[in-house]
Amino acid sequence: MTRGVRAKTEDSTSKDNYKWVALANTTAAVFMSQLDGSIVIIALPAIFRGIHLDPLAPGNVVYLLWMIMGYRVIQAVLVVTVGRLGDMFGRVKLYNLGFVIFTAASILLSFDPFQGSHGAIWLIAWRVPQAIGGSMLAANSTAILTDAFPSDQRGFALGINQVAALAGQFIGLVAGGVLASLDWRAVFWVNLPVGIFGTIWAYRRLRDVGERGGGHIDWWGNVTFAIGLSAVLIAITEGIQPYHGESMGWTNPVVIALSFLGAFLLTAFVIIQNRVAEPLFEVALFRIRAFTAGNVAGFAVSMARGGLQFILIIWLQGIWLPLHGFNFGDTPFWAGIFLLPLSAGILIAGPIAGFLSDRFGARGFATVGMLIFGASFIGLLILPVDFSYVSFALLIAANGVGGGMFAAPNSSSIMSSVPARERGVASGMRSTFQNSGTALSIGVFFSLMIGGLATTLSRSLYKGLLAQGVPGTLAHSVGNLPPVSSLFAAILGVNPIQHLLASSHILLSLSKGARQELISRQFFPQLIQGPFHQGLVVVFAVAAGLSLVAAAASLMRGGRQATNE
């Protein structure tokens, strides 16, 4: 009797220890994966200087855009496939392999042997396997945690995990600024200690404790989904680039063709999923109310949040920080610092909401979180472009609190609602909706912002340059540059007026006063802040609307559902 009790106690202790190992390892993995999605954004100026490439020169914008979007496109496309493979062959096995691939790609990224456009292509190409590894980590980490933790602790565990993912996105902005000031390669080196230690730790300690789904690979589903979603996301990425003198490329035949191809293949994918015995997307899971509502809410909030990061960076780096005396070259780092209240809101609210949702259910926390999230967008919408930082900090902190309150309960609700054998594919589907929402939002928000700028920015620049003595032909040429160039200049921490006029040598022919005014910190921000605010109103109004959609979906998920252990 005593021996049996002792064995039972030891087994319980072993399981208890294992769940904390699983939480620590997967949290480090998703933090690293999401950190790498944003750390590059802030480090882009240093990266392009390091490979001696002017990203604002004609034809080079494409390299800049794919450095940002390529990683997100790959993750959006692959997570559901690697989630299904985890169900079939073992979630830990796929997760561990993801650690290896991610770490190896990070090493190769830091050893770029080329310069100029070839150097940019090397970086874009090696971001692909890095994103594949990140997809394997993201898709299977949630399923591993759901397997390891009992239902009454699952919200807390997933809360920690989700908060790490969200915090990684915004802490990456600070880390990128710090590391890039040392060496641009350091933004990839930072992955190595976590990657190497995490890989060894995962192979030694993690084990599959959940049910496997078995079955076969849905090849037709994989092909139609991967190519279809890729076509749509590539079309969006190409669509926000200028085309034949137009501010955006939505009339580009390639964009139109890719959009139709993507729509056709994704329609075919839906038909295939309803006809094959073992589909890539388990359509039957959408009959589960909590699963469907949670994914609709997750997609809407990812759409609202995804573009927010870029809009806030442009706002701070391109306008607010220069107006307050910061050099353009220093703005990438300080933008990360000034966005810390957003990360703090997520870090505080996420674990608390996850813990409490284990006791009281997900619906209330997720719904209230989305209402706070939406209210913060309305506050940002009415905030002056040259704002008081205290007001801005409170609003982005509220945005972080709302997002943190939503993330953990929503993930817990989704994962607890599905059968144990299908947790890998369910996690992949959840990640697909979130990653697709993020990638789509960047295209949508940039399009809305560029549309708002296109009508007024060129006139504002033209008049401002003429007033300082710049010849009319050159003022007209600069004023008619695509607005996307001005937005990317802000992301890169570049003074676009100085950058554009320096190549024409016109500055040397102007008076000293005019020259100093044109290249001052205040000239460009003062010209752009009016047109920028018009675009800002549209963007944040859409984000607030998406937040309400997420709140409504969260409210309709039902009460506390029976948990599938």
The whole-number pLDDT of residue 314 equals: 82
Residues pairing with 243 in the sheet? 246
Angle CA 542–545–548, to nearest 5:
155
The whole-number pLDDT of residue 10 equals: 46
Structural domain for 234, as ranges: 219-277
Radius of gyration of the chain (CA): 24
What sections of 183-252 are H helices per DSSP?
186-189, 191-205, 219-239
Total domain count for the chain? 3
* Residue 372 shares a structural domain with residue 246: no
* Residue 174 shares a structural domain with residue 255: no
CA 542 to chain centre: 18
Residues 6 or more apart whose CB falls under 8 angstroms from that of 346 comprise 163, 166, 167, 170, 400, 401, 403, 404, 407
* Residue 120 shares a structural domain with residue 203: yes
Residue 354 located in a structural domain: yes
* Residue 245 shares a structural domain with residue 387: no
Distance CA 230, CA 227 (A): 5
The whole-number pLDDT of residue 14 equals: 58
* Residue 382 shares a structural domain with residue 475: no
Q: Say how many C-beta atoms besides its own lie within 10 A of residue 255's C-beta.
A: 21
Residue 161 located in a structural domain: yes
Residue 563 located in a structural domain: no
Residue 15 located in a structural domain: yes
Residue 564 located in a structural domain: no
* Residue 538 shares a structural domain with residue 551: yes
* Residue 235 shares a structural domain with residue 308: no
Query: Residue 437 belongs to a domain with what CATH number?
Result: 1.20.1250.20
Of 339, 337, 321, 320, nearest to 329 by C-alpha is 321
Distance CA 314, CA 331 (A): 10
Average pLDDT per run of 10 along the chain, which is 565 residues long?
Answer: 49 70 89 79 80 77 79 81 82 91 90 90 92 87 84 77 75 76 83 87 86 72 87 82 76 92 92 83 84 91 80 85 86 83 86 84 90 95 93 95 89 83 78 80 77 74 83 76 70 73 69 81 83 83 93 81 51
* Residue 461 shares a structural domain with residue 433: no
The whole-number pLDDT of residue 472 equals: 80
- Statement: the pTM of the whole predicted model exceeds 0.85: no
Distance CA 415, CA 376 (A): 28
The whole-number pLDDT of residue 7 equals: 45
Q: Tell me the angle at which helices 483-492 and 457-467 cross, rounded to the nearest 10 degrees.
A: 80
* Residue 196 shares a structural domain with residue 82: yes
Residue 401 located in a structural domain: yes
* Residue 329 shares a structural domain with residue 272: no
* Residue 193 shares a structural domain with residue 140: yes
The whole-number pLDDT of residue 430 equals: 82
Residue 562 located in a structural domain: no
* Residue 348 shares a structural domain with residue 435: yes
